[in-house]
Amino acid sequence: MLLGGVTVGTGKLQKWVQIKYLPRWLGILGIVSLPLGIAVLPNLINSDNNLLPYFIFTLGFMFVMFIFSIINILAMVSVQEKVPSHLVGKVIAIMMSIAGLATPIGQFALGGLLETFSNLLFILFFAISILTVVTGVIVTRKKWLYDETEESFRHTEKVVSSIVK
């Protein structure tokens, strides 16, 4: 994550770190996470070279965290740009609360999936990667999330005001 923050901060990706590119970053996240499925292929895990899956996992998660840090930066910048200044703290607190509450739910669900598909982990990882890409496509259709027009700002303010009342 540090590498992602430094890369964005130094301007190397400045052109691409805009909220309008969020769907692309989600798609890239899904594609970058595909090698994680390769790392848990039964033939690779049961081979004599046990370090290769660890290397693939480590490198894969490094790229996932790099992309994830860029998405986090995009989300925070978007909140600070679109939400009225007197509501920014409340919106960020709600975002952090939802993320905190969603973590154990996600861990519980993934734990059940891992137990159910313990022999087919690679399919589970591929499915999660594809789901991430599909999420990027869905977000593309919700233009008000990342559009920077005045109408988009008014819609966002209306949605945020109804949530934090």
Q: Are 1 and 128 in contact (CB under 8 A)?
A: no
Q: Which of 72, 97, 94 is nearest to 163 (CA)?
A: 94
Mean pLDDT of all residues in 10-33: 77
Q: What is the reported pLDDT for 17?
A: 73
Q: What is the pLDDT of residue 143?
A: 62
Domain ranges of the chain: 2-164
Torsion sign across C-alpha atoms 9, 14, 20, 26: negative
Is the pLDDT assigned to residue 133 strictly greater than 80?
A: yes
pLDDT band at 23 (very low <50, low <70, confident <90, very high): confident
* pLDDT tens-digit series, residues 58-113: 898 888 888 888 888 888 888 888 788 888 888 889 889 998 999 999 899 989 98
Q: Are 24 and 136 in contact (CB under 8 A)?
A: yes
